[in-house]
Amino acid sequence: MQKEDRKDMEYSKTYTAKDEHIDVQNIMDGLYYPFYMEDCRHAYIKDELGFDFVAEAHAGVNMVLSKYTLQFVRSLKKGDTFLVTCSPMLDKSNKSVLHFRQTILLNNKVVTKAVFSGTCVKSTGGRPFLPENLLSKLAGAPEWDGEL
């Protein structure tokens, strides 16, 4: 795992394309790109933001995705070692939504880029929110400009 400068809040992890994720065309099946991004995003959320999905769920707080947009630029192949990045962004108008800009890079070239958006909800119901401890750790994060 590699971590970039905390100042821009970007986090990254290195992965190798698993054989079972390769399709008959000898490229990684499109289903798996978001899974690698999710693994990196969850690691960032736990390691850097201190939000433990298991502990929070037991406490009645669930972090959930509300949408994502993903663009494929090129394909990964069997055995490729690639970098997945994750950077948080605040929402300009909705303080209960958090966005994550993510990329998959192979040899410093963009393979896939995406923005994942989510929020927290109590298991008992109610309005979406972001916990104060999360918001305080995200102070200074950029606002999402709507671009991938």
Residue 129 covered by a domain: yes
* Per-residue pLDDT at 8: 66
Handedness of CA 147, 27, 12, 116 (dihedral sign): positive
Residue 86 covered by a domain: yes
Residue 148 covered by a domain: no
Is residue 4 pLDDT above 80, yes or no? no
Q: What is the CATH number of the domain that holds 69?
A: 3.10.129.10
What are the pLDDT digits (tens) for 29-52? Answer: 999 999 999 999 999 999 999 999
What are the pLDDT digits (tens) for 85-137? Answer: 999 999 999 999 999 999 999 999 999 999 999 999 999 999 999 999 999 99
Is residue 53 pLDDT above 50, yes or no? yes
Domain count of the fold of the chain: 1
Residue 146 covered by a domain: no
Question: pLDDT grade, residue 1 (50/70/90)?
Answer: very low
Alpha carbons 66 and 82: distance in angstroms, whole number: 26
How many Cα atoms sit within 13 Å of 76 on the Cβ side? 33
Residue 147 covered by a domain: no
Handedness of CA 125, 129, 132, 134 (dihedral sign): positive
| CA nearest neighbour of 76 among 23, 121, 122 | 23
Residue-range definition of the domain harbouring residue 11: 2-137
